Amino acid sequence: MGVVVTNRSVVLDTADYMIRESGLLGLDVDQLASSTGTSEQDISKMFSSNKGVEHAVLQRYIDRFLQILGDPSTQTLHFRRALDTYIAAFQAGMADGGELFLSAVLGDKDEELPDELQELAATFARRNRVWLADLLEYSGSWSSEEALVKSDFVLAALEVAVLIGNTSEDPEIFDNLSTNIHNICMQ
């Protein structure tokens, strides 16, 4: 009988789904191993630290999120489209049946999370804040300070919109709030 080796991407995809369903603290490595057809030992080898799976899922999410957004300095002529892309990135998390949106996980500085995951959440927040502030500043309409204030407003508003949309199970709430956020930014 041969040994089944599961691809790291399969483990990450499955863990991503499980985190969206149960939260970071709800990831069960036994269930993950069973769902992916691999052993806990193999998972431990793939992800060496105690919360390595969770860290890898969140890091992959952050990298993909920011890759989708692109470099804000190259989007100065397309501010409206870039802002739409930014809002759509948040909206995409709402499209999968109300599962926990990983941005909400990363926005939650839960004291129960290990320091490593809290640091990753803080990094995500900083990178988002800077990306959006840069986009606003490069558009030429706002100073650095104004762009940062507007960026903070947009991030806070989008996170609340995601939270309200998910908890109420009414994506239309997010749609309405994101439209208003967009309109405020375009003023």
| 107 part of a folded domain | yes
When divided into structural domains, the chain yields a total of 1
137 lies in which domain range? 58-185
| 18 part of a folded domain | no
| 123 part of a folded domain | yes
Residue 1 is predicted with a pLDDT of 41
| 144 part of a folded domain | yes
| 9 part of a folded domain | no
The answer on pLDDT for 83 being more than 70 is yes
Closest CA to 136 of 128, 39, 89: 128
Quick one: average pLDDT of 113-138?
A: 83
Sign of the Cα torsion 90, 91, 96, 99 reads positive
Q: What is the pLDDT of residues 171-185, one digit of tens each?
A: 788 888 888 888 877
Q: How many CB atoms lie within 10 A of CB 50?
A: 11
| 33 part of a folded domain | no
Residue 2 is predicted with a pLDDT of 44
CATH of the domain at 164: 1.10.357.10
Q: What is the DSSP string of 141-160?
A: SS-HHHHHHHHHHHHHHHHH
| 24 part of a folded domain | no
Let me know: does 82 contact 46? Beta carbons within 8 Å: no
Q: What is the pLDDT of residues 3-27, one digit of tens each?
A: 445 688 999 999 988 887 777 777 8
Q: What is the pLDDT of residues 118-127, one digit of tens each?
A: 888 888 888 8
What letter represents residue 157's amino acid? A
Placement of tokens 């995500």 in the chain: 124
pTM for this one? 0.75
| 126 part of a folded domain | yes
